[in-house]
A = this chain, B = another copy of it.
């Protein structure tokens, strides 16, 4: 009997990640491709990014028992059938499932078991999966209306404070940090960047680590911004816990989870309600777990093997 193969894809807004493994959870391939949010880069570039990741992982020409793609940007108005069709064009597989990329994080968080996951990437969202596998979402209203605790939100909050510093109504290092980070030399350059030029949300969100750094080094305004964003995520997670019958644990994935300062605020915000856990699997490993589960229920040793590799990849900064 040939080896059974599974593939999981995290088709994100700034890059695509792919994991292929066998039925025992042993890694068969790992690869990366370009951005794959069809809303921002279009369907063609999205497909190209999937193809890149397949090649990079050495998965071209392989046949897969089951595949799962978590697409960034897949929402209620998405061309789901088209996204599924494109998946089939790229992957040779018997069964393919697609969904929004947040499910990668959700299933990765506790290996598909009950718990709450906060996604704090360019955007943000709080998800819960209960004992019966029911999923509930809170937050995630997008960059215009919400996304507290996201890199984009923290960056924009900080830029708005920086402009108050420019006007002289507030004192903070965020102004100089903004000017340096974006290479602005005048107010005109600032206005041009945000209103005339086209910049992606992830380009702007890239300023968030600088804001956190300023917070850590004691800048009061930066501190206030990071705290307020972390507390908002914490509050949403606690509301989730009180609303849904879910295990009292919270895993955080995405860029902000790498900041100890952010996580410390978050831990404080959920204390007495939820235990903060490291996610069992990083999102792309969550994706391959979904693919495997769609074929047959994954047992504990396999999950442990996946978790081990996911942890290794994360520690080595390869994710």
The answer on a CB contact under 8 Å between B76 and A169 is: no
The answer on a CB contact under 8 Å between A145 and B167 is: no
The reply to whether the CB of A236 lies closer than 8 angstroms to some CB of chain B is yes
Within 8 Å by CB of A236, from B144, B146, B167, B236, lies B167
Bound-complex Cα distance A141 to B192 (A): 11
The reply to whether the CB of A139 lies closer than 8 angstroms to some CB of chain B is yes
A142 neighbours in B (Cβ, 8 Å): 191, 194-195
The answer on a CB contact under 8 Å between B160 and A145 is: yes
A141 neighbours in B (Cβ, 8 Å): 160, 163, 190-191
The reply to whether the CB of A85 lies closer than 8 angstroms to some CB of chain B is no
The answer on a CB contact under 8 Å between B232 and A169 is: yes
Nearest CB in chain B to that of A146: its residue: B163
Of the A-B pairs whose beta carbons lie under 8 Å apart in the complex, a sample of 27, sorted by A's number, is A76-B188, A76-B191, A77-B192, A77-B196, A138-B167, A138-B168, A141-B160, A141-B163, A141-B190, A141-B191, A142-B191, A142-B194, A142-B195, A144-B156, A144-B194, A144-B195, A145-B159, A145-B163, A145-B194, A146-B160, A146-B163, A168-B239, A168-B243, A169-B232, A169-B235, A169-B236, A169-B239
> Chain A interface (Cβ within 8 Å of chain B)?
76-77, 138-139, 141-142, 144-146, 156, 159-160, 163-164, 167-169, 188, 190-192, 194-196, 232, 235-236, 239, 243
Bound-complex Cα distance A236 to B188 (A): 20
